[in-house]
């Protein structure tokens, strides 16, 4: 196991950009729609339950993952546009879930790419500023290219998305946690893990021809149908670290991440739809983690701790 301790300190954000400026920039890129999330604005709130695997305690002592719990979750489309079409393959699909067990709560946020598009807060702000819409409502392609050429790692997420077919269902999409979480088991041993949430029914994608026949809200309609017909299930697994893994850079994957050892933590079953206001009245707070899973040490996670609360205040 890696030499990791729970006393890991989160790296403070860069001095230039701030969580507040990031929220403002996200909204500016989306055209500043009122009273919606700065990112993952379009979504569907759902409920279900979590069932732990027998091996969860090998990884963490957290009651959120070692005991059964209730689940509140939200599937979503990336970006700040609440009207983005579900057929847009250039935006992320998101899955945020809250596990509540015996008064303990953990909020986990995962998305359909295993990397983030910026390594630091300053880089994220510059990435967004390069994409601010001009007078014609579109970003300046030359600015975007110049920034991308100077910061090639910011294209890792887009390249991952572009190499994959359009998801056919929220229930048939694999979701990744881009951060490295220090997890401590019952024996007191701590190591870094990454969360991966895989559809029990397997990956579901559409060909270009199939995608052309889909409506702008087809993912949301499909989710409703699947819930009515018995619900959907996901396997939550922990990818285990190795010495030398890039735990501070969220634009990079761990080497051989798809092939490395993974421990099943449990199963999430989504069995009912919920009115959107149930999820909109609060946030899935990345800082809410039951004992046994600690804060990732990277700069982007530190910024998220404040940015989500700032976004909520603006919605209200």
- For 71-115, write each residue's pLDDT tens digit: 999 999 999 999 999 999 999 999 999 999 999 999 999 999 999
* C-alpha distances out from residue 12 to 221, 295, 300, 301, Å: 41, 13, 9, 9
| Helix, coil or strand: residue 310 | helix
Q: How far apart are CA 217 and CA 219, in angstroms?
A: 6
Q: What is the band of 316 on the pLDDT scale with cuts at 50, 70, 90?
A: confident
Domain 19-315: CATH architecture, name and number where available: Beta Barrel (2.40)
Q: What is the band of 15 on the pLDDT scale with cuts at 50, 70, 90?
A: low
- Per-residue pLDDT of 112-156, as tens digits, reads 999 999 999 999 999 999 999 999 989 999 999 999 999 999 999
Phi, psi of 198 (to 5 degrees): -110, 140
- Per-residue pLDDT of 254-311, as tens digits, reads 999 999 889 999 999 999 999 998 998 888 999 999 999 999 999 999 999 999 999 9
For the entire predicted model, the pTM comes to 0.93
What Rg value do the Cα atoms of the chain yield, rounded? 19
Closest CA to 100 of 54, 48, 59, 177: 48
Q: How far apart are CA 143 and CA 147, in angstroms?
A: 6
Residue spans per domain, the chain: 19-315
């Amino acid at each position: 196991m890696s030499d990791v301790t729970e006393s890991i300190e989160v790296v403070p954000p860069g001095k230039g950009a701030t969580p507040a400026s990031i929220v403002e920039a996200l909204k500016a890129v989306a055209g500043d729609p009122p009273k919606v999330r700065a990112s993952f604005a379009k979504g569907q709130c759902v409920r279900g339950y979590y069932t732990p695997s027998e091996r969860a305690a090998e990884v963490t002592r957290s009651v959120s993952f070692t005991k059964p719990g209730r689940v509140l979750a939200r599937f979503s489309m990336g970006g700040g546009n609440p009207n983005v079409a579900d057929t847009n393959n250039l935006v992320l699909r998101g899955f945020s879930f809250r596990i509540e067990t015996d008064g303990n709560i953990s909020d986990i946020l995962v998305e359909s790419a295993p990397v983030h598009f910026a390594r630091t807060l300053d880089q994220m702000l510059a990435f967004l500023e390069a994409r601010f819409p001009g007078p014609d409502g579109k970003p300046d392609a030359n600015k975007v290219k110049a920034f991308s050429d100077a910061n090639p790692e910011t294209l890792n997420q887009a390249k991952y998305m572009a190499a994959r077919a359009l998801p056919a269902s929220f229930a048939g999409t694999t979701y990744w946690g881009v951060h490295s979480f220090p997890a401590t088991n019952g024996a007191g041993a701590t190591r870094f893990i990454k969360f991966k949430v895989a559809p029990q029914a397997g990956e579901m994608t559409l060909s270009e021809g199939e995608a052309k026949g889909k409506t702008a809200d087809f993912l949301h309609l499909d989710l409703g149908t699947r819930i009515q017909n018995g619900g959907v299930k996901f396997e939550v697994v922990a990818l285990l670290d190795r010495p030398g893994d890039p735990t501070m850079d969220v634009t990079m994957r761990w080497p051989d991440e798809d092939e490395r050892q993974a421990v099943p933590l449990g199963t999430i079953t989504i069995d009912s739809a919920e009115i959107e206001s149930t999820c909109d009245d609060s946030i899935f707070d990345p800082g809410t983690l039951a004992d046994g899973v600690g804060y990732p040490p990277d700069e982007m996670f530190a910024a998220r701790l404040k940015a989500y609360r700032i976004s909520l205040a603006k919605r209200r």
